[in-house]
Amino acid sequence: MSAGMAKTLATIHKVITRGVEVTRSRSQSFAEQGLPDEALWSGFVSYARTFVNLTHAHHDGEEVLIFPFGQQKMPDTSFDSLIAEHQQIAALLDEMGAAIDDAEKNPATESLSRISRLATQISEIWRPHIREEETIFSAARVNAVVTPEEQGKLMQQASQHGMQHAGPDYLAAPFILHNLEPEDRAHMAGEMPPIVSQELVPIVWKDQWAPMKPFLLP
Ligand SMILES: [Fe+2]
Ligand SMILES: [Fe+2]
């Protein structure tokens, strides 16, 4: 049985928190110091795009699965402000997606600065947003009203939902695992089908996500 939904939620938040920070800092340094070579550039485009897709998918999964579940188990909790923040972040993510498309066609300082600025704006909403979410779904609150079995089932559904909406698996799965330090990575690997972390990511998909490696943890 998994370690519970509080831990899984906090861990996926760590992936996205690192994702927005790496996207911000690298786009800023490319804008300031000049464009990288083609391989590093295509790796950055894949990384930033996967960040956008995964964050959209995470919010969608919360609105479709996690929040309705939370509402049912903790009827006094309001999710309205969290949903409003998702909408604000979604608009910024869409702008970022367009800026990434522009930058891919025509790598110019202007679109890189735009990506960096949007990442900063996303981060400003994101940080208090996840604090609020992790307070609502703290282990103590969740464990008081949800059995470990129910938590495991919900997290499995959320993980499936996420993988269906986060863009190509061969980018999303390594993005999740390798934006985490080893202990958290082991936890998330345990939430995925074993074949994903044991065979697909390290062997079958290895070359497809290799260009993102300079932006990921070893
Ligand atoms: Fe959220
Ligand atoms: Fe979240």
Q: pLDDT tens, 55-102?
A: 999 999 999 999 999 999 999 999 999 999 999 999 999 999 999 999
- Which residue has better confidence, 159 or 95? 95
Q: Whole-structure pTM over 0.85, yes or no?
A: yes
With a cut of 90, say whether residue 180 has pLDDT above it: yes
What is the amino acid identity at position 213?
K
DSSP letter, residue 67: H
Distance 105 CA to ligand 2 centre (A): 31
Give the torsion through C-alpha atoms of 170, 174, 175, 179, to 10 deg: 180
> Ion ligand 2 — residues with CB under 5 Å?
133
Q: How many CA atoms lie within 13 A of 4 on its CB side?
A: 15
Distance 195 CA to ligand 1 centre (A): 28
Q: What is the per-residue pLDDT for 1?
A: 41
Q: Which ligand is nearest the CA of 85, by number?
A: 1
With a cut of 90, say whether residue 108 has pLDDT above it: no
Q: What is the per-residue pLDDT for 80?
A: 96
As a three-state string, the secondary structure of 99-160 is HHHHHHHCCCHHHHHHHHHHHHHHHHHHHHHHHHHHHHCCHHHHHHHCCHHHHHHHHHHHHH
Q: What would the two tokens of residue 197 be? A: 């972390």
With a cut of 60, say whether residue 37 has pLDDT above it: yes
Distance 129 CA to ligand 1 centre (A): 6
Distance 179 CA to ligand 1 centre (A): 18
Q: Which ligand is nearest the CA of 79, by number?
A: 1
Distance 215 CA to ligand 2 centre (A): 22
d(CA 123, CA 137): 20
Q: What is the per-residue pLDDT for 164?
A: 86
What is the sign, positive or negative, of the torsion defined by CA atoms of 130, 135, 137, 140? positive
- Using 50, 70 and 90 to split pLDDT, how confident is the model at 3? low
